[in-house]
Amino acid sequence: MDELIKLMAVYAIPVIFAITLHEGAHAYAARYFGDNTAYVLGRMSLNPFKHIDPIGTLLIPVGLYLLTGGAFVFGYAKPVPINFSKLNKPKRDMAWVALAGPAANFVMALGWILVSILLQKAHVEEVFFLEVARAGITANLVMFALNLFPMLPLDGGRILVSILPMKQSIQFSKIEPYGFVIVLVLMYLNIFTYWLNLVMMLTQALLQLILSPLQFLLN
């Protein structure tokens, strides 16, 4: 239990930011491309309480952590309501709205890596701050990779629907009611882990490349 409390203290701020900006980015992108649904319902917001789901964000992850000894953790936020038919060009713009969430996580991961670099260069020895920065990197990389998995209703599935020809797009959309079950089964069987590890590794390499000029200047 002490380990769980420590883990929650370290991950609380990074996860709240990761969820809030992810969902907020979807809402802002949807409005930009013509759908005001999230705005009218008050979901185009950076207020964490607008996006946190008590069951999906808190109860389920903690319960799974305790039941599996930390081996399997999964959670979700309240999805931003989007009426894709109201987008200026629904099939095309769906991809941009879906991509906005993972893009926000990519930028946040970049920010947390920058924070980690600056903390080390400032010789900050407080372990908690260093662990929070690492948690911020991990949380956003996981959200980025998880949401880009090409399965509905995840963002990667929306992007795939957008780029597939209309006939194949309609056929693929029929999977959506079973999408989360499929993802959970893949997670439980550890098959999903290969996707997460690969995407996270490649993304972290890209982020390090982006920040390499700064690291060169600081060395």
CA dihedral 79, 46, 201, 147 (to 10 degrees): 10
- Cβ count within 10 A of residue 23: 26
Q: How many residues does the chain have?
A: 219
Query: Coil, strand or helix: which one is 53?
Result: coil
Tokens of 216: 């060169």
Q: How far apart are CA 103 and CA 125, in angstroms?
A: 31
Q: Do residues 207 and 103 touch, judged by C-beta distance below 8 A?
A: no
What is the enclosing helix (H) or strand (E) of 95?
helix 90-121
- 120 to each of 3, 92, 116, how far by Cα in Å? 25, 43, 6
Tokens of 157: 């599935």
Catalytic site includes residue 23: yes
Of 154, 161, 179, 36, nearest to 101 by C-alpha is 154
Q: Which of 3, 23, 126, 176 is catalytic?
A: 23
Q: How far apart are CA 208 and CA 219, in angstroms?
A: 15
List the catalytic residues.
Answer: 23
